[in-house]
Structure 1
Amino acid sequence: MDPDIASSALTEGDCPLSDRELEVLRASRTGASIREIADQVHLAPGTVRNYLSAAMSKLGVSSRHAAAHRAWEEGWI
């Protein structure tokens, strides 16, 4: 199965995060720096920070690591 299709199927439903927020959180699970995440997802570092901040706010957590962990626990990434 195509990973993008599988990811899309998992993220439908009650996930409050956008596809881009999920993509950035998925990339952050490796412990990569903002710059490394930006390079990986082809975005500017400031844009990555904005997506991470939005995801953290939506999930009510205080760090990108906690946001990525929560998204992983929920099966969104």
Structure 2
Amino acid sequence: MTLKESPDGITVHNYRQNFGTVHSLLLNLQDGELEFTFGSPLYNELHRLKTGGKFPYREVKVLLPEGEYGPDFWAVMEE
């Protein structure tokens, strides 16, 4: 879901119009692990962290590429 761009997935790169993926987070409750990215998972590194673990970085470089979606992006979708 997060590894596909809209409309096929939920990741969006429309930051100029305040509608872009700034982070993604998936929790694996069975293994006590979380997977996350800062920014879109299509352009940024996936990190894994076990429950109680420490994130090893103080800074992470994040890419926020701007997509071109056009006016149809904001159109109401009907089922």
Q: What TM-score do you get using the length of structure 1 for normalisation? A: 0.26
In proportion to residue count, which structure has more helix?
A: 1
Question: Whose radius of gyration is greater, 1 or 2?
Answer: 2
Q: What TM-score do you get using the length of structure 2 for normalisation? A: 0.25
Higher relative contact order (CA 8 A, sep 6+): 1
In proportion to residue count, which structure has more strand?
A: 2
